[in-house]
Amino acid sequence: MILFPPAKINLGLSIVEKRNDGYHELETCMLPIPFYDILEILPSENFSFFQTGFKIPGIQGENLCEKAFRLMKEKKAVPNVTIHLRKQIPMGAGLGGGSSDAAYVLSGLNELFQLQLSNEVLENLAAELGSDCPFFIKNEAQMARGRGEKLTQMNLTLKGYYLVLLNTGIHVGTKEAYAGVTPSYKEKSLEVLLENPISAWQDLIINDFEASIFVNHPKIAELKNELLKSGAIYASMSGSGSSIFGLFKQEIELISCSEDLKNSLVFNGYV
C-alpha cells in the first residue's frame, strides 16, 4: 500500500486565550495542498520503520508514524507491518507533515486490515497523537478550534488558484512562536472573515504569530513582501512558521524573482 500524506496551509490563525492545561485556545482554517510525503505500508512478520528523504531528527521509536502504529495495535491488535516514509515536506515549517504522516498511518492500517473504523473513531485516535493529526483524516478544508482538534467542515476551495510555497530552512520552535503572542478575542471570527472574497483577505485574514516571528526572523517577512510585490492576492505565514505561501490568480514566472525567493521555493503549482 502506497499513500501520499499532504501538507497543509493555514488561512489565518488567531490565538484566543491560554488554557488552564497549558495549551492555547486557537482558531484557524486548515487546507490540504498538493505537496506530499510518500508512505508505504506492507504486512510483515516483524514491525519496522525506516525513512528516506529529509532526515528526521529524534530518538528511534519516537517518530509519529511509529507511535501511530503502536496506538492502533493497542486498540485493535493489528498484525505487524513495515513502514517506509519518504520525507519530502520540510519539518518544523508550519506545514503539518509529521501530523499528516501519522494520520495516514492510521487510515492506511484501517484500510489494509479492513478494520472498518469510522472517520470519527480515526479522528479520536489521531487526537491522541497530536493537535493537527485529526485534520488529515478527512483531508479537506476545515476550521480548527480548541488546541486544533475541534474540527468543522468549511465550504471553501482554492481550486484554480496558483500556490507558491517558500521555506527558508529557519526553524521556529513552538515555544518561541507562542512566547511572542498575546491572546485576544477578535471582533469578528475567522470563519466569518473567510466569507469575504479572496481579494479582500490580505487586509482581514491575519496569522497572530507573524508579528513577533517577523521581528525575530526578518528574512521570513521579506519573502512575504516579495510574494505580494510579485502579484499574490494573498500571502501569509503558515501555522507557527516558518513557511510562507502566496496565492495567485494565475501561474507566475519565477525566473524574474529574487535568488532568495527561488532558493526558498519548495512547491509551486495549482491548488
Our answer to whether residue 203 is catalytic in this structure is no
List CB contacts of 184: < 8 A, sequence separation 6 or more: 15, 16
- Asked if 101 is an active-site residue, the reply is no
- Which member of 37, 101, 132, 208 is catalytic? 132
Provide CB contacts within 8 A for 60, sequence distance 6+: none
- Half-sphere exposure of 126 toward its Cβ, with a 13 Å CA cutoff? 33
Helix axes 97-112, 119-127, angle to 10 degrees: 140
Q: Which of 8, 87, 208, 224 is catalytic?
A: 8
Q: Do residues 85 and 65 touch, judged by C-beta distance below 8 A?
A: yes
Strands of 60-190 (E only): list them. Answer: 81-87, 142-145, 150-153, 162-166
Do strands 150-153 and 162-166 pair parallel, antiparallel, or not at all (unpaired)?
unpaired
On the CB side of 50, how many CA atoms lie within 13 Å of its CA?
4
State the catalytic residues.
Answer: 8, 132
